[in-house]
Structure 1
Amino acid sequence: MHPFTFTKARGERAALAAGARGGRYIAGGTTLVDLMRETVERPLEVVDITALPYRDIAVGPSELRIGALVRMAELAAHPVVAARLPVIGQALELSASPQLRNMATIGGNLMQRPRCPYFRDVSAPCNRRAPGSGCPAIGGEHRALAVLGTSAECVATHPSDLAVALVALDAVVLLRSPRGDRRVAVERFILRPGSTPDREHDLLPGELIVGVEVPTGAHTVRSGYLKVRDRQSYEFALASAAVALDIRGGVIRDARVAVGGVATAPWRLPGVERVLLGKAPGPELWAAASARAADGARPLPGNAFKVELLKRTVERQLATIGGAK
């Protein structure tokens, strides 16, 4: 670990000033500390923001507002989340370990960086760490990496389970800086690699996540998260699916489907949603819709199995959420 200055921000103004001069924000520290220890991250200043007032979970008639410093375990246990947004609670409970969920914050979860082994090995080239140096994963070990949203520059999979659920529900990230406030959809906040894989978030210099806003409705009540992985705990997804359905009068009125573990960012599936809308739920519909789940996939030899795994994961979760309730 390289030397750095540690600052504890006593208020929002001090935190924003420190961020504007290049300081890196830290709260739970479950991602940044690991990356600093591995020398992937080498900030000159680390700014502790745990004293800031971003810890509320506010329930409105049509939205849930979550402070950026709310702990993952706290949000998962909230009664409104369990009753009205089960997909969020399930995604959180299937993340990381109980110890990490007790420390990690919602804002920090959205700022996670890739888990690609080459990204974390500073002796290897990596376009995310050093643009233009290459992506050894493409011709190397890529079993757990992405088949959707990849580019010639990067095939790293996005690690967050929570972000998949938030993308399915059209959640918005609330951002603040000395220049003012911004609202950015989670789906646009987490960037696909394209030709600039080193730019992972739509975050301006010195900008701070202050919260997340999630619209609620009939579809969020009938929702859930499925995670398929090599082992049952403390493991990242090989494929996952967040599904939310509004079924009334025997017909699907609204459908939201997003997947993780297979893409460079949380991945919405509009093709699947279009097949579902206006149809009567049932096994034939689940099969027809899930057949569209891997549209646009570009698998590599070592992760081609994910194409079929993705379709089956989506079909299984559609059947789970679309059944009698």
Structure 2
Amino acid sequence: MGGLYWQKGQPNQARERNLYDLLIHERTFSRLEARLKPLAEQIAPYTLNDSSEFRRPWGSEGSKGVIAYGNTDAFFSPAVRDFVKAVYATPRLAWFQSIAAGLDNEFLQKVGQKAEIYTVSHVQAHAIAEWVLWAAFDFFGEGAARRRSQQDRKWQKVPFREVGETRWLIYGFGHIGENVGRRLKALGAHVTGVRRSSAVSPFADHMLHPDQLTEEEIGLADAVLLCCPLTTATENLADANFFSAMSPSSLFLNVGRGPLVDEDALVVALDGGRPAHAALDVTRQEPLPPGSPLWGHPAITLTAHTAPTTAGTDRRNDEQFLENLSSFLAGKPLRHEVDAEAFKAQSSVYGT
């Protein structure tokens, strides 16, 4: 791992400069170096590349603790194990910035319990909302029939339904749900949001508490979207009873977490024609095994957890990190800070 100083435990004169080490992927550092340079008196970047090589681009070491930026470059790098080990190894993790919104990942749970400050990101909601619209336009717009007509060289009209005339039930009306609702309302759709908070939203026509959700409400929806956190209360939320309540002509979508859905029950439900189609960006097991029936089912549109994967998401994550970094170094509150109690709750739920 290149000999992390906090593993060696040897004195270093540079530590007297009272810096924070900044653990960051080399690719991210290259993008942000010009904007990090003015902070050189407060941070000491420590970069990791895809070949698991650690470097000190500015030649200093910190003594105040470690700041770590867990972003796409780090999480999806071939060297992610070394990034994880480096985070685990530091005696003092002063602040961890995650690009994930959820807390149910085992690594993030452990980091959240270790970090003095832990912040999440919700900027991916914009891209995920557009993924939802893409799936909706394709289903209600009879995209499959249109593609078949082109493939068969048939010049024929394909009637379709306008998304603006549909009713939506969005379970989990947080950042993602509200971003979806805002876009749907702009098109003219009717939106019912489900969340525990009693706060109203300009992006929903109607709000429900989860305890108020009935089979009738589910059956009224032309599209049901899950974008809620995974908890003991929401695991297998979409089960056989849930699907049996849906309209035969409806669309089911999941951009939350795979375990929100009983996938065996979903396949049975689709085979029975209720709902008509499912669009999934997340699955219970990821990567999805080649033998999974979800791959080839004619009534399933499947993507590989790619809904938030856009250049815009990466750019907004970097901007939030830089904003939070300035606030952290100035001793000011950070955006989207997670209370430590949240990780204790997750720990008890998932046994970590």
Q: When the two structures are superposed, what TM-score results if normalisation uses the length of structure 1? A: 0.23
Greater strand fraction, Structure 1 or Structure 2: 1
Greater helix fraction, Structure 1 or Structure 2: 2
Larger Rg: 2
